[in-house]
Amino acid sequence: MNIAVVIVNFNSGGLLAKCINHLLNQSRQADIIMVIDNGSLDSSMANLPACSTLKTHCLEENHGFAGANNFAFQLLPEADYFITLNPDAFPESDFIERLEEAARAYPDYTSFASRMMQDNLTLDGAGDVYHISGLAWRNLHNRPYLPDQHQPREVFAPCAGAAMYRAKDLREAGGFDDTFFCYMEDVDLGYRLQLKGCRCLYVPQAAVLHLGSAITGKYPDFALYYGHRNLVWTLVKNAPAPLLGLALPAHILMTIVVGIVLLARGNLKPYLKAKFDALRELRRVLQQRKLVQRSRQVSSWRVLRLYDFHLTKR
């Protein structure tokens, strides 16, 4: 089994070298570590650890998380599985080994979500949750880690900050959507894989320490804009017609409620721009929708049972 690790770098400072050092300390080494630099202006690409399996490619401009990963996938045709890893995610020493074990033990699954930790006691996430309103979040985010409650189980999608995908299915699904640039691209890909009958498994034994927004957090309103623009596209493009009719009222209500909250916080401008830009590109997204729905291989019921219906995050 050929496993390639892809890291997309953008001004991550010393985090990148630290991430690579954790990869070089794995019980099961990656067959290749590919770093795609998105036009960084800092010194993060300097003084990386020397390793025969480490390859780098520097892009002249920032193509976003989605575009840079897709570029890496094209450079690695020999890979059977891709692990996508953020520079601020530091895997435990058996991370790759545990993911490989899961892929062999659960051949019916296409993608694998890791256990992401903020520290030794607090979870950052355990796979992604998709809500009926179109919102998405990391399952169990900010919750205490209770090992007895964590067993392998099906989830909607993995967080691509530390995930593994079967290369064949990822390529057939078209990879990440380049137009997303950043945020929600993993949920969108996970949705498209689910529509093709490709399931996602949460693997709690595969763990990383994730600093979370250590890089994008430097740019105010970045996550707000891209997250709320892209969640509109994810819903419109992927939801089967019966589910779209069910989800749209919840989506509209959520949009109003979030807008009121952001207005109270004095942070409404990037949110309104996100919604405006989402609607401006709606014709293109509807064209994408035709292709996605034409290739759907599962029932609406199969998708619906993976949705979350709770009024608050769990």
- Residue-wise pLDDT for 124-182, tens only, equals 999 999 999 999 999 999 999 999 889 999 999 999 999 999 999 999 999 999 999 99
CA distance 222 to 109: 33
**For 27, which DSSP code?**
S
Residue-level pLDDT at 67? 97
Q: What percent of the chain has pLDDT over 70?
A: 96
Give the other-Cβ count within 10 Å of 129's Cβ: 23
**Cα 270 to Cα 253: distance, rounded to the nearest angstrom:** 19
Report phi then psi at 49, rounded to 5.
-60, 145
Residue 310 has a pLDDT of 83
- The encoded tokens of residue 6 equal 């892809």
Mean pLDDT, the chain, rounded, equals: 94
pLDDT greater than 90 at residue 70: yes
Largest CA distance in the chain: 54
Percentage of the chain modeled with pLDDT above 90: 93
* Residues forming a β-bridge with 199: 109
pLDDT tens-place string over residues 266-305: 999 999 999 999 999 999 999 999 999 999 999 999 999 9
Average pLDDT in the 240-265 region? 95
**Single pTM value for the model:** 0.94
Segments making up each domain of the chain, as ranges:
222-298
Region 223-236: mean pLDDT is 96
The pLDDT tens digits for 183-222 are 999 999 999 999 999 999 999 999 999 997 655 555 668 9
The H or E element that residue 242 is part of is helix 241-265
What's the pLDDT at 218?
58
